[in-house]
Amino acid sequence: MKISIITVVYNNECIATAIESVLRQDYPWIEYIVVDGGSTDRTLDIIGAYRNRIQRVVSEPDLGIYDAINKGIKLATGDVLGLLHSDDFLADDGVISRIAEIFRHHPGINGTYADVIFTDREDLNKVTRYYSSRHFKPWMFKFGFQPAHPTFYARRELFKQYGLYSTQYKIAGDFELLMRFLYIHKVKALYVRDVWVKMRMGGVSTSGLKSLMKLNGEILQACKSNAVYTNSLMIYSKYMVKWWGFCFKKT
């Protein structure tokens, strides 16, 4: 089973951590694809240092993060696809082996997801939050909840059958795709109580109140676009109820 991992990046010199975490994996059948948006800093030089170990590298302007992800998906030839953002890194060297075993042992599933850890941006050993997908249920999309998208791995045919990421969103395209797959089309996905990804704080979706408000506005738009009933009160209520504590936990 070949697993394709896609990293998209634009002007992020932290990408070496992500790349090295993929190259250290003990699973032998990995196709690694890096899609750069035409970086103007040292990002391309950093990618170039690993060029002979990365299967595909694309560097050209794009229409945003989800357009770049879609380019990677179209290039991928793996049986299973997953994403690793340039700020993030795989939690340990055996993550992809464990994911492959899940698909082997559960042939009836088309996707899987797990938990993520947030780290300090500078001190990667300092854990600031734990995001658990354990209690997630598809009906919770109506309240703006989603499983940990950086851990979501899916069979490649799903993207052919149900579509790619919508480029009309800036930061909620992952929410829209997961809702479309898991809630609208009822894709069978298995939650695994494990940590697969560590994320630096300060990324696109974790960078303050303004980002939070934009995210929730796009979540509302995504629900309406997919004829999923919700409203602003329902979406913002997640910050006031105990479900939120099931997702975000302190160390």
Burial of 142 (0-12, 13-18, 19+ CB in 10 A): middle
Does the pLDDT at position 128 exceed 70? yes
Between CA 173 and CA 183 the distance in angstroms is 15
Question: What are the residues facing 97 on neighbouring strands?
Answer: none
Side-chain half-sphere CA neighbours of 49 within 13 A? 11
Q: What is the pTM of this model?
A: 0.94
Which pLDDT does position 211 carry in this prediction?
A: 85
Which pLDDT does position 209 carry in this prediction?
A: 77
The answer for residues whose C-beta is within 8 angstroms of residue 162's C-beta and 6 or more apart is: 180, 181, 185, 187
Tell me the pLDDT tens digit for each residue of 152-207.
999 999 999 999 999 999 999 999 999 999 999 999 999 999 999 999 987 554 55
CB atoms inside a 10 Å sphere around CB 190: 15
Does the pLDDT at position 251 exceed 70? no
Instruction: Indicate the average pLDDT of the chain.
Output: 94
Span 24-53, average pLDDT: 98
Tell me the pLDDT tens digit for each residue of 75-102.
999 999 999 999 999 999 999 999 999 9
